[in-house]
């Protein structure tokens, strides 16, 4: 199971804490570190982002309220905690097992769209609980009917 909270994602698989992700750490200079889980995760995220773009995913940067360039807005939504937790779940949770994420805030429109795409291109079932409802993602659609 994957749990997510304010700026930090804690990943549990079969009840064991396997990784705690602090979103602030994602901008580290990887040259200072030896090959690690972070390096593997960054490579996985790059590949997943490419596959999502090929499948037609486009970031919904209108959810970013900061006055910054479009590229910066895309980077900002890419590192939302629920999106990182789902990506790590795809990377680590065995195929055939659902990926479960619990978020204490409402999922944003971009993350909702991104997770639908992730479910479609990976063939995974993703269950996301935000502060409003459960979202069951499968085959590129969500149980909420895109109404949340």
18 vs 136: which has the higher pLDDT: 136
9 and 85 Cβ atoms separated by less than 8 Å: yes
Domains of the chain, residue spans:
2-142
Residue 80 pLDDT: 87
- Residues 62, 41: Cα–Cα separation, whole Å: 27
Mean pLDDT, residues 96-122 taken together = 94
Looking up tokens 């590949």, which residue turns up? 47
- What pTM does this model have? 0.76
Q: Minimum mean pLDDT among 5-14, 33-42, 108-117: which range?
A: 5-14
pLDDT in tens, 33-77: 445 778 899 899 999 999 999 999 998 888 888 888 888 888 888
pLDDT band, residue 94 (cuts 50/70/90): very high
65 and 135 Cβ atoms separated by less than 8 Å: no
What one-character DSSP code corresponds to residue 83? H
């Amino acid at each position: 199971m994957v749990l997510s909270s304010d700026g930090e994602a804690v990943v549990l698989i079969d009840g064991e804490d396997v990784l705690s992700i602090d979103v602030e750490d994602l901008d580290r200079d990887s040259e200072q570190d030896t090959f690690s889980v972070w390096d593997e995760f960054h490579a996985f995220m790059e590949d997943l982002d490419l596959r999502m773009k090929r499948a037609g995913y486009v970031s919904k940067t209108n959810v970013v309220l900061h006055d910054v360039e479009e590229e910066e807005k895309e980077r900002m939504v890419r590192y939302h905690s629920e999106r990182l937790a789902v990506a790590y779940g795809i990377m680590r949770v065995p195929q055939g097992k659902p990926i479960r994420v619990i978020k204490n805030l409402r999922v944003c429109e971009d993350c909702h769209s991104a997770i639908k795409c992730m479910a479609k291109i990976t063939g995974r079932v993703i269950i996301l609980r935000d502060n409003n409802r459960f979202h069951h993602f499968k085959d590129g659609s969500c149980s909420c009917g895109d109404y949340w």
